[in-house]
Amino acid sequence: MSAATITAPPRVKAGADEGRIGIRANLRHIGALVRRNALQIKQDPESMMDVLLMPIIFILLFVYVFGGAIAGKGNQHQYLQDLVPGMMGIMAVNIAMSVGTGVNEDFRKGVMDRFRTMPIARSSVLIAKIVVELGRMLLATAILLGMGFLLGLEVRGSMLEFLGSILLSMAFCAAMMWIFILLGLSMKTPQAVQGVAMLVLMPLQFGSSIFAPPTSMPGWLEGFAKVNPLSNLADAARALVNDRGAVAHPTLVTLGWAVAITAVVMPLAVAKFRKKT
C-alpha cells in the first residue's frame, strides 16, 4: 500500500463528551482533582486563615459587642443560643464566595485551559472545587461550634437534629457555590468577583434573622428578611439545635432554595466553563 493511500486516524477531541464518560470514570476524575486542590491548600496554608479565624472573630464580635444591645444587657447567653446556629449560614455563604475567586484565579493562571484539553468531564473540575470547599466549610463550622461550646452553647435537641442542622447548612452552601462559580467564570479578575460577591452577600447576611429578629426592622426590610433564604436556614438551624419552634417549614424552604439554585445555576456554570476562553 502506497504512502498516498494511508489516511490518518480521526482525531479525538480532547475533553470527550461527558455523555461518553461513565459514572465510575467521573468519580475517579473528581477524586484526582480533589486531591490536587487539597495539595494546593497544603502548599499554601495561609489560604486557610479565613476558615480558622473568621468563626472566632465573628462569634466574639457579635456576642460581646452587639449582643447586649440587641438582646439586652445580661442576655448574651440566650443571644448565643440563637446566634451560633444562624451563623452556620454565614459560614456557608462566605466559604461559597471563595470558590468563585479560586475558579477565576485558575483561569488567569492557565490551569483551567490544561484541564479542558484532557478527556475528563467538564463538570468534574467544578464539582471537585465544591467538594474541597465543603471540607473547608465543615472545618469552619467545627471551629464555630467549638467556640460556641466554650462560651456556653447548649445542644437542646437530639444529636440527630444537631447533625441535621450542619448538613442543612452544607447543602445550602453547595448550592450557593454554583452562583459564585458562575460569577467567577463571568468576571475578569478575582477582585471583581469578590467585590460583586460582597454586594450580594451583605444584604443577604444583615437583612436576615441571623443577627436580629425581623420584627425589629422597618416593614419593607422585615418583608425582605422573611423571604430571605438565609433567614429560613437560620430559623431551621435554631429550631434543630434548640429543640423549639416549627422545624419542617423552614427546613423544606431551605432545601427548596438549594435544589432550585442548583438546578438553574449548575447547567449555566458548566456551559460557561465550556465556552470560556
Torsion region of 120: left, alpha or beta (phi above 0 gives left; psi -120 to 50 gives alpha) = beta
**Residue 141, Cβ neighbours under 10 Å: how many?**
22
Q: CA-based Rg of the chain, rounded to a whole angstrom?
A: 22
| DSSP letter (8 states) at residue 243 | T
Pairwise CA distance, residues 12 & 198, whole Å: 42
Q: What is the mean pLDDT of the chain?
A: 83
Within 8 A by CB and 6+ apart from 244, the residues are: 156, 238
Q: Is 111:6 a contact under the CB 8 Å cutoff?
A: no
Pairwise CA distance, residues 71 & 192, whole Å: 37
pLDDT by residue (tens digit) across 155-209? 988 999 999 999 999 999 999 999 999 999 898 888 898 889 888 888 888 899 8
Q: Mean per-residue pLDDT for 120-133?
A: 83
User: Which segments within the chain are labelled E, that is strand?
Assistant: none
Looking at residue 129, its amino acid is K
Within 8 A by CB and 6+ apart from 201, the residues are: 93, 94, 97
pLDDT band at 20 (very low <50, low <70, confident <90, very high): low
pLDDT by residue (tens digit) across 72-86? 676 778 889 989 999
The grid coordinates of residue 5 equal: 493511500
pLDDT by residue (tens digit) across 219-272? 899 999 999 999 999 999 999 998 877 889 999 999 999 999 999 999 998 888
Pairwise CA distance, residues 97 & 179, whole Å: 9
Report how far apart the first and last C-alpha atoms of the chain are (Å, whole number).
43
Within 8 A by CB and 6+ apart from 15, the residues are: 116, 117, 118, 119, 120, 122
User: What is the sign, positive or negative, of the torsion defined by CA atoms of 199, 201, 203, 206?
Assistant: negative
Q: Mean per-residue pLDDT for 25-42?
A: 82
**pLDDT score for 249:** 92
Within 8 A by CB and 6+ apart from 18, the residues are: 26, 121, 122, 123
Q: Is 172:229 a contact under the CB 8 Å cutoff?
A: yes
**Residue 153, Cβ neighbours under 10 Å: how many?**
21
The grid coordinates of residue 13 equal: 477531541
Q: Is 248:232 a contact under the CB 8 Å cutoff?
A: no
Domain assignments of the chain as residue spans, ordered by start: 21-275
